[in-house]
Amino acid sequence: MDRTKINQWIMDGWLYRASRLLYVELENAPFIEGKSTLKSSLDTYQRMMQFLEQGAKDEQRDEVLNFLKLKMLQVSDTIYRQRRKQNSSEQYYTTLRIIESQGMPEAFYTRGLESEPQDLSSEERFAYDNRLSTLFEYLWVSERLSQEMADILAGMSEYARQMMVASLTLGLLYQWDIQKVRFIIQELTRPEISIRYQVRLFFALILVSYIHPKRSMLYAKELKPLLAAANEVHSFDKLFSAQVDAFLLSSDTERVTQIVEKNLPEIIRANQKNNNLGATLFELDSDDTGPIDPELKALEERVKELGKLEEEGADTLYVAFRNFKRLPFFNTIASWFTPFDPQHSAVKELYESNEVIQKLMPYFSQKLCDSDLFSAILSLPNRIQPLNLQDPNLAAMLDQMKEPVVEVKQDNLQLETRRYVQDFYRFVNLFSGQSLGSNIFDKLPIRSFPLLTFGNYTVTYNRQTALFYMSRGRYQAAIPLLQKIVQENPADATSLGRLGYILYKEGNYQEAISCLEKSDLVEDLSQHLRVILAHSYRKMGFHDKALAIYNQYRKEPSMLLAMAATYIVSGSYEEAIPLLHEYIYRSSTPQRAYRSLAWSYFMVGDYTKSEEYHDKIEKPNANDFLNKLYLFIAQDDLVKAFQASLQLVEVSEIETISKGIENDLPKLNKPEITKDILTLLLDSALFAKQLKEEEKKESETNQEN
């Protein structure tokens, strides 16, 4: 059955076409109920068409059409569900068959769940946790949430409701149910609920809007007032913003995982090799200017890269904990969404018998999502049991770990959102019994929320997503988002500035100038963006405008370099030289001016000074060797010119060199430097290079013999 096609036709208003396909499905499956509902819907539709043909005014037409769409969608869902239940091996339908075969009433699944979990004995808690898991699966595969069940759920502890909302969320990904959606929104109107529960409820709304965008809008008349009421109690703006950040970070997990997998083995090997790795890395940041072990230096860079990712909120721990999701605890679907509680029957004994874990838990709880916390308790005892709490180094480490806890808790909403989205990401990518696929995160379901008409959520999404892409250097992905923002709000100075910056980085200097100038009209540009504007002017040849901006910040040595570069590209080398010398006098990195000084002195004919600054360049590149070649030809020193040619062909391909010469010759304006003499010297250098390689090869052959 092509449910997607049928449902699309229904929601687009092609009711007759959809009904023909539904009749075919019902004829092929007489055991499925739905013919009477479908016939009744078509009879109503036919009467409405008769009114239309007669030209009668039908004020209820839209309401009737909406009603018919809902009825036919219900028939379509029922047919699809029954067909899949007959032959699908997915865990959803396998669980559905088991629960239906048991034939238990709803009351069976809620029995014994009235208590608060913290009030239970160990035996009672074990039974409680098992019943929650059973109820989770029942609600997950239920076709409808009855009002009786909704009332029971509303009266349960918040701990239980957090689990059940995750179950309802999963169920809605498979099949729409307005009762489940209504319950989720009504729970958001409760003022006393925790941030953790708010996050789970709002996450459910995000995914429902993504999976059922048109279906949810059919209920807009009912749902929008409920959502507005919930927004009055809990700010959707903050919840939405936190969800955007969390989804973006999760969408980046695959890239982060590749980085961690690349760096972690080296760190582990080094840690095994040097038990005092932390102290060694610390020493690398000290004032000691002695020789540094290259291996440790490279390792330090890897550690810093992982640290930076963690600071950005990246899911760096996915790699470490994904294999632990093979533990028996995670065989049940409920376990992936169980709020972590050290009193949970699966971990209580392990937690209480391990003092190290107890001391680490305040730190872990700020770093790990719930499923990873369960993984940690279930997998770590054997690894950390031998640790001695009397060890002063371990005690110091545990004391240090207490510090971040207070800081992180200040942003509880961001933390709880990130943790829950990480739990969902792990389930989608690691749980073998589901078929939702990772496209939930690849396609960023948070980009559309049509039911929320009381906030500008599209702009929020575009702005935060663009900023995320910018921070990762993914400029091409950020450009259309920022363009959309400034099209809708041409006076958004911040977005104009960001767009201008990205366009400059992408080499679109004319458009960068346009955006930055518009931003400056609305609100004064920051110094950073004003300098970017100056760079863009320089790239486009508007040298006077660039110099005027650079001169405003002349107190900063880097602006002297920028001014000198502007004079150099405009051919005013005499103006550039004093600025470069001033930079050398004022800057802590004078070597940055040597290359420009060597070129400027060469162009003004002071070859002695040019050679002096060429010799000061610490790491000459291909352009430096080419410039020295020009210099020595101008000095009529062909011996040095030939040496420069040899150095040049060692570091660059002849095609690249030739292109550089073609670009340079018109600007040099020095008759002694001709293409013929350059070709002769470079060809001789290539010949000498070949002879040298042949001699080396012959020598190696002789040694082998």
CATH number at residue 515: 1.25.40.10
On whether residue 37 sits in a domain, the answer given is yes
Helix (H, G, I), strand (E, B) or coil at 630: helix
Domain span at 486: 456-553
pLDDT over 70 at 139, yes or no: yes
Say whether pLDDT at 569 is over 50. Answer: yes
Res 438: pLDDT: 44
Q: What is the pLDDT of residues 270-312, one digit of tens each?
A: 555 544 433 333 333 333 333 444 554 555 565 566 566 666 6
3-state secondary structure of 634: helix
Q: Would residue 589 count as lying in a domain? A: yes
Residue 524 vs residue 108, higher pLDDT: 524
Residue 551's CB is within 10 A of a number of other CB atoms, namely 12
Classify residue 121 by its DSSP letter. Answer: -
Higher pLDDT, 613 or 380: 613
674: left (phi over 0), alpha (psi -120 to 50) or beta: beta
Tens of pLDDT, residues 2-18: 888 988 898 888 888 88
In this structure, the answer to whether residues 472 and 509 fall within a common structural domain is yes
Give the end of a domain, one of 594, 612, 630.
612
On whether both 512 and 586 belong to a single domain, the answer is: no
User: Is the pLDDT score of 567 beyond 90?
Assistant: yes
Last residue of a domain, one of 505, 531, 553: 553
**pTM for the whole structure:** 0.76
Same domain membership, residue 608 and residue 624:
no
Per the model's pLDDT, the better-predicted residue between 637 and 52 turns out to be 637
Choose the most confident range, by mean pLDDT, from 49-58, 158-167, 659-668: 158-167
If one compares 404 and 531, the residue with the highest pLDDT of the two is 531
CA distances from 437 to 104, 130, 203, 244 (A): 31, 27, 17, 20
Q: What are the C-alpha distances in Å from 469 to residues 20, 39, 482?
A: 47, 52, 11
- Poorest-pLDDT segment among 44-58, 343-357, 630-644, 648-662: 44-58
Cα-based distances in Å from 232 to 411, 453, 578? 21, 14, 64
Domain membership of residue 202 (yes or no) is: no
Task: Based on the fold, state whether residues 586 and 629 are members of the same structural domain.
Answer: no
Burial class (CB within 10 angstroms; exposed 0-12, middle 13-18, buried 19+) of 105: exposed
Q: Are residues 462 and 548 in the same domain?
A: yes
Please state, for a pLDDT cut of 70, what percent of the chain lies above it: 83
For the chain, give the number of residues: 705
Co-location of 481 and 546 in the same domain: yes
Q: Decide: 501 and 532 in contact? Cβ < 8 Å.
A: yes
Query: Predicted confidence band at 410 (pLDDT cuts at 50, 70, 90)?
Result: very low
In a domain, 21, yes or no: yes
Least-confidence region, from 38-52, 186-200, 434-448: 434-448
Alpha-carbon span 538 to 545, nearest angstrom: 8
Same domain flag for 465 and 542: yes
Three-state SS sequence of 502-539: HHHHCCCHHHHHHHHHHHHHHCCCCHHHHHHHHHHHHH
Mean pLDDT estimate for the chain: 84
Question: Could you tell me what percent of the chain has a pLDDT over 90?
Answer: 49
Mean per-residue pLDDT for 490-509?
95
Q: Could you tell me if 607 and 625 lie in one domain?
A: no
What confidence score (pLDDT) does residue 459 get?
82
What's the pLDDT at 287? 38
Residue 54 has pLDDT above 80, yes or no: no
pLDDT given for residue 233 in this prediction:
92
The Cα–Cα gap between 129 and 116 comes to: 12
CA dihedral (282, 283, 288, 293) positive or negative: negative
pLDDT single digits (tens) 57-69: 666 778 888 888 8
Domain final position from 502, 531, 553:
553
- The pLDDT of 406-419, averaged and rounded, is 70
For residue 110 the two structure tokens come to 């809620």
Name the amino acid, one letter, at 25.
E
Confidence of residue 401 (pLDDT cuts 50, 70, 90): very low
Q: Could you tell me which residues come within 8 angstroms of residue 670 by beta carbon, excluding any fewer than 6 positions away? A: 630, 634
In a domain, 10, yes or no: yes
Q: Which residue has the tokens 């760079």?
A: 535
Can you tell me the mean pLDDT for 225-240?
90
- Shared domain check, 596 and 570: yes
Task: Please state the rounded mean pLDDT for residues 217-236.
Answer: 90
Taking the C-alpha atoms of residue 436 and residue 80, their distance in angstroms, rounded to an integer, is: 17
- Number of structural domains, the chain? 4
pLDDT for position 302 = 58
- Contact yes or no for 602/631 (Cβ under 8 A): yes
Among 349, 348, 376, CA closest to 362? 376
| Residue 253 domain-assigned (yes or no) | no
If asked whether residues 636 and 694 sit together in one domain, one would say yes
> What is the C-alpha to C-alpha distance for residues 316 and 416, in angstroms, rounded to an integer?
17
Render the burial of 43-80: b for 16+ CB within 10 Å, e for the rest.
ebbeebeeeeeeeeeeeeeeeebeebbbbbbbbbbbbb
Residue 402 has pLDDT above 60, yes or no: no
Integer Cα distance of 203 and 655 in angstroms: 57
Higher pLDDT, 318 or 601: 601
Helices (H), 188-252: 195-211, 213-218, 220-233, 236-251
Instruction: Flag whether 265 is in a domain.
Output: no
- In this structure, the answer to whether residues 509 and 545 fall within a common structural domain is yes
Q: Concatenated DSSP letters for 556-593?
A: SHHHHHHHHHHHHHTT-HHHHHHHHHHHHHH-S-GGGG
pLDDT of residue 303: 56
H-state helical runs in 622-674: 622-634, 638-651, 654-668
Q: What is the CA radius of gyration of the chain?
A: 35
CA dihedral 511, 513, 514, 519 (to 10 degrees): 130
pLDDT at 396 (0 to 100): 54
What pLDDT band is residue 361 in, cutting at 50, 70 and 90?
Answer: confident
Residues 534 and 580 in one domain: no
DSSP state of 340: P
Mean of the pLDDT values across residues 661-675?
90
Q: Is residue 360 part of a domain?
A: no
